[in-house]
Chains A and B, each alone.
Chain A
Amino acid sequence: MSDDLVQEISDLNEDRIMSLVEEKIEKGQDPKRVLDECRKGITKVGERYEQKEYFLPELMLAGEVLDDVMALIKPELKGGDSEEEGLGKVLIATVQGDIHDIGSGIVSFVLEINGFDVHNIGVDVPPEEIVDNIKELKPEVVGLSAFLTTAIDDLKETIEVIDGEGLREDVRIMIGGAPINQEVTEHVGADDWGEDAMEAVRLAKKWVGVN
């Protein structure tokens, strides 16, 4: 057993993680420092997911553990959780007519643990609502998800509406989901596509100009 919170989170030793966090808080350690260690640990989980050492079971357990840890730390953070400036803002939505949320949820989580400020506005989102969110949140990247083949038409319509509002200068659009490939990307007029969550991270990093 180690006292290294970063390592324990990376290894997903759930019991050890919780007792370490409790210990640190009891000892009066700066909660922001604890939070920072948690973030570093989760980043390592993301790396192991990228290297295909971890899969959804580990990733989803990490999400739960992080929620539990945050519930412990949040009350200690006086003056609120001062969110660090992220790498950039990403808006995620599953297009209208499609209610699949597993893929978009994974992409959101993996982008978050890689330092992006992610706004996942849910499933079955009409183009107008996506446009309103782009105007309000001003994201650098928009990620659109579609699982159904019929949603390919909705992807196309959504991107046309974004273009029609003159917003395309300000955002790059990536798409993902079961039926998505290069041909669909060209067909609907997106900037690029990704086969998995890590590809979404690579695209977003490229577009906001970090490596």
Chain B
Amino acid sequence: MAEKVKSREEKRTEMFKDWVSGEGVQFKDDQAKEAYQKRAGRIWDAVELKEPDRVPVIPMTNFFPAFHAGHTCESMMYDFDKLEDAMKSYVFDFEPDAFMGSMLVGPPGDVFEQIGFKLYNWPGHGAPENTSYQAVEKEYMKPEEYDHLINDPSDFWLRKYLPRIASELEPLEDLLPVTNVLELFIFPYLMPFGTPEVQSVLNTLMEVGEKTLAWQQRIGEIDGQIIGSGYPILLGGFAKAPFDVIADTKRGTSGVMVDIMRRPDKLKKAMEQITPTLIQSAVGQAKMNNNPFVFIPLHKGADSFMSRDQFREFYWPGLQTVITSLTEEGLVPVMFVEGSYNERLDIIKDVPERSTIWMFDATDMEDAREELGGTACIQGNVSSSLLITKTAEGTKNYCKELIDNVAPGGGYILSNGAAIDNAEDENVQAMIETAKEYGGY
């Protein structure tokens, strides 16, 4: 007899049951396990649009743990003892309902250096030691290269994109497409591997591979210990909107905006081609981490970038496919909506119910609540500027107002709107305290 196909709801419930119970987590003691389950359960309730015991509070942190612990941003990417100190100090001092994990705070700087990574400036390397990493926007893909990407995305990535974003990987452009391998005629494909240039790339890849594995193991230990102390992690996998994949670091903002006007069909076809790869990658990560949350930062579809019609035609179809496909695997996409989406709330509510979190930055939270209420959990939107310029009391007042306006009925998580770096400790504390003291249902 054929196995019954599980519904989206069943898959999600299964995934959440494992995650909330802390399946596979090495807890410090029973108390930590209980605290973990309480926090994770609170988040599950919010996703299911039920009222938990109180409003969950999850600061979206970038380099804030470094600032809090008195380390430089640069040290997070090089000195993993300091990364550990920063992450633990942050979580144990502030006791949030979940944290974002060490992965985003401390990608290994020496690996970036060794491959000659050009796509980002990072603290101490193109950016000051106490400034976050920043993407270097350029036209990494030329308009005439759409056909290459459409016909064979992996080949484009390997032989065109990688050589352009990392100087030490440049010789990869000397390789032939792997599809050139035709039976006996495998030898033409093998020839470039005999050159010193390509061999140097292979050596580099072996070395950075080892370093990346070691780093991965170390942050796994750090995060594992924090989780084992009672704090869930709100990041199981990573994806992007297909439009942003092309816009952010392939064609660049200016390039992609012109493509909307000059070559709309190529742009759409390219997005269609890469969509399955985004879904497959995120599902793999989330299942490996046994964590349902897939983080999806949204960039170039915001109100100020394109019209509603352009959003509906170019941005939303790909993103909607990614979201829906992930929820079908029982996962919960967490959309980090940078900028504002005031003009698109009615469009984005066309997603599976009780399966997504929308974290808003500058979007009006009451409007978001009105449109998405009954469909999706919303999160946000204490501004990062407020956490720098306001007093603790001012922060508390703002958070109370947010809770009053959007929390009733459930389906709300209190947090800041854009990732925080140099926020004032007392203001972050005030945000967390407000949820705990004032956010009871």
Contact = CB atoms under 8 A, between A and B. Distances in A.
B128 A97 contact: yes
A55 B314 CA distance: 14
Interface string A1-31: 0000000000010100000000000000000
Nearest to B262: A61
Interface string B252-264: 0110011011100
Contacts of B258: 57, 60-61, 64
Interface stretch (A33-41, A82-90, A175-183): A175-183
A19 to B, nearest CB: 17
B389 interface: yes
Contacts of A181: 383, 385
A58 interface: yes
A98 B306 contact: no
Nearest to B416: A149
Given A149-B421, A183-B389, A55 B137 contact: no
Interface stretch (A71-79, A99-107, A134-142, A202-210): A99-107
A56 B130 contact: no
A37 to B, nearest CB: 21
A99 B134 contact: yes
Interface residues of A, number: 35
B390 interface: yes
B131 A61 contact: no
A56 B131 contact: no
B310 interface: yes
A61 B388 contact: no
A57 B260 contact: yes
Contact of B418 (A58, A64, A153, A178): A178
A187 interface: yes
Contact of B134 (A58, A64, A96, A100): A100
A162 B310 CA distance: 42
B313 to A, nearest CB: 11
Nearest to B260: A57
Nearest to A61: B261
B386 interface: yes
B180 interface: no
A148 interface: yes
23 contacts: A14-B262, A55-B305, A55-B307, A56-B304, A56-B306, A57-B260, A61-B258, A61-B262, A97-B127, A99-B134, A101-B137, A102-B254, A148-B132, A149-B384, A149-B385, A149-B388, A150-B130, A150-B421, A152-B385, A178-B339, A179-B384, A180-B385, A187-B388
B418 A179 contact: yes
A69 interface: no
A102 B137 contact: yes
A196 interface: yes
A180 B132 CA distance: 17
Contact of A179 (B130, B136, B257, B383): B383
A177 to B, nearest CB: 10
A161 interface: no
Contacts of B126: 99
Contact of B127 (A12, A61, A99, A152): A99
Nearest to A12: B261
B121 interface: yes
B83 interface: no
Given A12-B261, A55-B310, A60-B258, 11 more contacts: A57-B306, A59-B257, A98-B134, A99-B127, A150-B421, A150-B422, A152-B388, A178-B338, A178-B339, A179-B384, A184-B389
B420 interface: yes
B309 to A, nearest CB: 10
Interface in A164-193: 178-181, 183-184, 187
Nearest to A105: B254
A57 B243 CA distance: 14
A117 B307 CA distance: 29
The 5 closest A-B pairs by CB, nearest first: A57-B260, A60-B257, A61-B261, A57-B257, A179-B385
